[in-house]
């Protein structure tokens, strides 16, 4: 019997914790404190402890987190920011908002992530030293941080880790987000730790960087009504979202385990000719189940015919986006360009039923 499998269904994720969520919202409403209050501060402490950094600074969304973190690192108009071109253009958007120039680093053909070798090649190919390197832990898989840090340190350039897809991924006891100089995440509802609206956070061990972000997120205030910092704006996480995130954070590891379990079943089912880009292990949160193959469009059509929704992350590399006024610097991006034509994404969310997962597996075997 054919099943209808959605790409995602956020309502299912709430069903089991609806009472706790309602309680959290009610707690905030009764408190009469709606912005930068106790829930917000408690979340900053709890999530910093989870990631293993000294500080977390909540902000309005993941793109603001990237922009403010880059600004705190000293990125400004005319700076170059190294980033990958296969990760949805979020880091590029943040760099462009600062008047900086995103310059693209190619990715490893197996992991689809920035590697020490590809970063070193970018340093060799670009005449201008970047002010920062953004490493995206794409699809939820940790990029090789020790080698990336080594290359960046050699050139004296700070590193930002984008953990929007990878919150909870770790090597041993070391959590992604605690390797670089600063890190960011998004609490967009589809993320592994998602709010019921927008949200984001910045992580760092540096009190100086944390203070800069904290000031910029609230108008650039040094103290109330006294503006002493550039790039100030309003980018705050509200109390209701903070309370909801505090309710969900204790379940993140369990949810990530379930995601990895489903991903493992897909790994076991894909036929020769198709390859799951990642493998299930603790350094991968299974945020997205990305398949690589020579004919992704025909695979997607066949799955659609069986009622299975799929997507592509991401169809247009950043340097091929038609952003007015942005003429990307020529960089070697052969791997990135090739991979963009070879990928599609299977449905993967923790609340998929076992029957649904088995149906996706059975359908994969027919490809």
Ligand X SMILES: Cc1ncc(COP(=O)(O)O)c(C=O)c1O
> Phi, psi (5° rounding) for residue 293?
-160, 170
Q: Give the total of residues touching ligand X (CB under 6 A).
A: 14
Q: Is 54 helix (H, G, I), strand (E, B) or coil?
A: coil
Closest CB to ligand X among residues 192, 215? 192
241 near ligand X, judged by CB under 6 A: no
Shortest CB 275 distance to ligand X, Å: 22
Beta bridge partners, 291, equal 276, 344
Return the closest-CA partner of residue 310 out of 358, 336, 344, 268.
344
219 near ligand X, judged by CB under 6 A: no
Count helices and strands in the chain by DSSP H and E runs: 13, 14
Beta bridge partners, 162, equal 136, 184
Shortest CB 95 distance to ligand X, Å: 12
Closest CB to ligand X among residues 285, 363? 285
Beta bridge partners, 82, equal 103, 133
The residue from 123, 188, 219, 251 that contacts ligand X (CB under 6 A) is 188
Taking residues 93 to 132 in sequence order and writing x for each that binds ligand X by CB under 6 A, - otherwise, the string is ----------------------------------------
Q: Beta 200-204 vs 55-59: how paired, if at all? A: antiparallel
Shortest CB 328 distance to ligand X, Å: 19
Q: Beta 80-84 vs 55-59: how paired, if at all? A: unpaired
CB atoms under 10 Å from CB of 280, counted, come to 20
Contacts of 210 (CB under 8 A, 6+ apart): 54, 55, 57, 202, 204
Shortest CB 194 distance to ligand X, Å: 10
Binding segment for ligand X (CB under 6 A), chosen from 16-24, 57-65, 112-120, 208-216, is 57-65
Binding segment for ligand X (CB under 6 A), chosen from 58-66, 97-105, 173-181, 261-269, is 58-66
Question: CB of 73 within 8 A of CB of 160?
Answer: yes
Shortest CB 139 distance to ligand X, Å: 9
Q: Burial, 103: exposed, middle or buried (Cβ in 10 Å; 0-12, 13-18, 19+)? A: buried
67 near ligand X, judged by CB under 6 A: no
Taking residues 192 to 211 in sequence order and writing x for each that binds ligand X by CB under 6 A, - otherwise, the string is ------x-x-----------
d(CA 192, CA 178): 18
d(CA 297, CA 101): 33
The residue from 165, 235, 278, 363 that contacts ligand X (CB under 6 A) is 165
180 near ligand X, judged by CB under 6 A: no
Question: CB of 103 within 8 A of CB of 126?
Answer: yes
70 near ligand X, judged by CB under 6 A: no
Contacts of 332 (CB under 8 A, 6+ apart): 106, 121, 125
Shortest CB 60 distance to ligand X, Å: 8
Shortest CB 155 distance to ligand X, Å: 24
The residue from 53, 58, 63, 92 that contacts ligand X (CB under 6 A) is 63
Q: Determine the residue with CB nearest ligand X.
A: 62
Residues that bind ligand X (CB under 6 A): 61-63, 87-88, 90, 136, 162, 164-165, 186, 188, 198, 200
């Amino acid at each position: 019997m054919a099943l209808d499998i959605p790409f995602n269904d956020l309502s299912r994720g709430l069903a089991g914790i609806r009472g706790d969520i309602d309680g959290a919202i009610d707690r905030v409403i009764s408190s009469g404190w709606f912005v930068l209050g106790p829930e917000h501060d408690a979340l900053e402490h709890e999530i910093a402890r989870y990631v293993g950094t000294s500080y977390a600074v909540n902000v309005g969304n993941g793109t603001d987190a990237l922009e403010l973190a880059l600004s705190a690192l000293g990125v400004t108009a005319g700076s170059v920011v190294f980033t990958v071109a296969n990760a949805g253009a979020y880091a590029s958007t943040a760099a462009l908002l600062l008047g900086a120039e995103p310059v693209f680093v190619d990715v490893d053909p197996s992991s689809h992530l920035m590697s020490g070798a590809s970063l070193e090649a970018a340093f060799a190919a670009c005449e201008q030293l970047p002010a920062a390197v953004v490493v995206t832990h794409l699809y939820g898989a940790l990029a090789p941080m020790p080698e990336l840090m080594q290359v960046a340190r050699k050139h004296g350039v700070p590193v930002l880790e984008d953990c929007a897809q990878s919150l909870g991924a770790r090597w041993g006891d070391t959590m992604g987000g605690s390797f670089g100089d600063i890190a960011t995440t998004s609490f967009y509802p589809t993320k592994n730790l998602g709010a019921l609206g927008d949200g984001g956070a910045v992580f760092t061990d540096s009190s100086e960087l944390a203070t800069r972000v904290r000031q910029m997120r609230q108008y650039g205030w040094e103290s109330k009504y006294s503006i002493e910092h550039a790039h100030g704006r309003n980018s705050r996480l509200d109390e209701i979202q903070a309370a909801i995130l505090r309710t969900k954070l204790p379940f993140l590891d369990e949810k990530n385990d379930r995601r990895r379990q489903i991903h493992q079943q897909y790994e076991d089912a894909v036929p020769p000719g198709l390859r799951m880009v990642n493998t299930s292990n603790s350094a991968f949160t299974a945020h997205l189940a990305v398949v690589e193959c020579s004919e992704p469009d025909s695979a997607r059509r066949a799955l659609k015919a069986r009622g299975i929704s799929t997507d592509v992350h991401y169809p247009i590399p950043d340097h091929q986006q038609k952003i007015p006024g942005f003429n990307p610097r020529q960089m070697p991006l052969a791997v990135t360009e090739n991979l963009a034509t070879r990928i599609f994404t299977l449905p993967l969310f923790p609340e998929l039923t076992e029957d649904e997962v088995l149906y996706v597996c059975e359908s994969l075997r027919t490809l």
